[in-house]
Amino acid sequence: MRISKSALWLSVIDALLVLTASASGIFLKSIYVRETLSWAVQGIGQDIVNLVAAVVLFIAAYFVNKGSVKAFLVWSGVLLYLIYAYIIYAFDVHFNSLFLVYVAIVGLSFYALVVFVIHMHLDSLQAYFSANTPARLVSAFLPVLGIVFYLLWLREEIPALVTGTIPPSVTAANLPTNPVHVLDLGLYLPAMIITGLLLWRRKLLGYLLAGPLLVFSILTGSAILVIFLVMGSKGMPTSVGIEAFFVVIIVVSLVLSVLFLREVT
Q: What is the pLDDT of residues 59-72, one digit of tens each?
A: 999 999 998 989 99
Domain that holds residue 63: 5-262
| Burial zone of 141 (CB within 10 Å; 0-12 exposed, 13-18 middle, 19+ buried) | buried
Q: What is the pLDDT of residue 124?
A: 65
- 212, 73 Cβ separation under 8 angstroms: yes
Distance of CA 10 to the CA centre of its chain: 18
What share of the chain has pLDDT > 70, as a percent? 94
pLDDT in tens, 181-215: 999 999 999 999 999 999 998 888 898 899 999 99
What's the structural domain count of the chain?
Answer: 1
What gap in Å lies between CA 191 and CA 149, rounded to an integer? Answer: 13
For residue 134, the 8-state DSSP code is -
Backbone angles phi, psi at 133, to 5 degrees: -55, 125
- Taking the CA of residue 88 as centre, how many other CA atoms within 13 Å lie in the half-sphere pointing to its CB? 23
pLDDT in tens, 90-143: 999 999 999 999 999 999 999 999 998 887 766 666 666 765 566 788 999 999
Q: What is the pLDDT of residue 132?
A: 57
Q: What is the pLDDT of residue 22?
A: 98
Q: What kind and span of H or E run contains 232?
A: helix 204-233
Closest CA to 133 of 213, 207, 197: 207
Four-residue CA torsion sign, 76, 81, 84, 85: negative
Q: What is the pLDDT of residue 49?
A: 98
Looking at every residue in the chain, the average pLDDT score rounds to 92
- 10, 108 Cβ separation under 8 angstroms: yes
Residues in the chain: 265
